[in-house]
């Protein structure tokens, strides 16, 4: 049976089991890891977009790879856009796309200062570009959303580092806004 050419955990286990049938353990492990690394280096599968699962939003349980430079939006940010409905929040973010997220991220307090600081650092020549795309292992939760490096670049006007800084600020401001919204809601109706 041929070995599976993939960097996934399932492929690694399958390859290891296959190799253990004919080779010593250390040699089988070396082959399975080699295949995993080779396929990762060749741009193995990376996750993009929503993480839809039954795993709670603050319980990181999904091992996956994302492209370097990606940004994982937390579940409470997604949920907040849908008035505490994750699927509605995901639909909204899909509808507005990276340009809409860029506008939102730049409209919150503190965004202008982040852009200004970033531009001051860039004076004196072009900064070295942040590598993007190659897989990075992460652990995520259900309800989160992975923005691709390209989407992060749109948010940061072509700069991944600025995109990350704006998104970090945006997420923290959204969290505070969500807390204020929840505190301001009236008590549940009683029969």
Contacts of 49 (CB under 8 A, 6+ apart): 145, 146
Rounded to two decimals, the pTM is 0.70
pLDDT 10s digits, 134-171:
788 889 998 999 999 999 999 999 999 999 999 999 99
- β-pair type (71-73, 145-147): antiparallel
**CB-neighbour burial class of residue 88 (10 A; exposed 0-12, middle 13-18, buried 19+):** middle
Asked whether residue 173 carries a pLDDT value surpassing 80, the answer given is yes
Closest CA to 80 of 70, 67, 93: 93
Q: Where are the alpha helices (DSSP H) in the chain?
A: 9-20, 25-41, 75-81, 86-107, 111-122, 149-155, 160-184
Q: How far apart are CA 80 and CA 100, in angstroms?
A: 16
Angle at 132 between CA 126 and CA 134, to 5 degrees: 150
Domain boundaries, the chain: 9-41, 49-184
pLDDT at 43 (0 to 100): 54
94 versus 119: which is more confidently predicted? 94
User: What's the average model confidence in pLDDT over 57-80?
Assistant: 88
Q: What is the CA radius of gyration of the chain?
A: 21
Dihedral sign for Cα atoms in the order 28, 32, 33, 35:
positive
Asked whether residue 101 carries a pLDDT value surpassing 90, the answer given is yes
Contacts of 64 (CB under 8 A, 6+ apart): 46, 47, 51, 137, 138, 139, 140
């Amino acid at each position: 049976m041929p070995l599976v050419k993939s960097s996934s955990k399932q492929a690694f286990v399958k390859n290891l089991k296959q190799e253990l049938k004919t080779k010593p353990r250390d040699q089988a492990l070396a082959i399975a890891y080699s295949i995993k690394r080779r396929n990762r280096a060749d741009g193995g599968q990376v996750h993009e977009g929503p993480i839809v699962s039954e795993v709670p939003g603050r319980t990181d349980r999904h091992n996956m790879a994302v492209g370097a430079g990606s940004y994982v939006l937390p579940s409470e940010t997604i949920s907040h856009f849908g008035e505490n409905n994750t699927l509605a929040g995901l639909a909204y973010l899909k509808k507005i796309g990276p340009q809409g997220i860029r506008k939102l991220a730049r409209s919150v307090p503190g965004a202008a200062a982040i852009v200004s600081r970033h531009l001051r650092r860039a004076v004196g020549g072009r900064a070295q570009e942040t590598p993007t795309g190659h897989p990075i292992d992460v652990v995520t939760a259900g309800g989160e959303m992975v923005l691709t490096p390209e989407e992060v670049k749109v948010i940061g006007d072509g700069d991944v580092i600025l995109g990350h800084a704006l998104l970090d600020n945006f997420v923290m401001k959204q969290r505070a806004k969500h807390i204020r919204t929840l505190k301001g809601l009236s008590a549940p109706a009683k029969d």
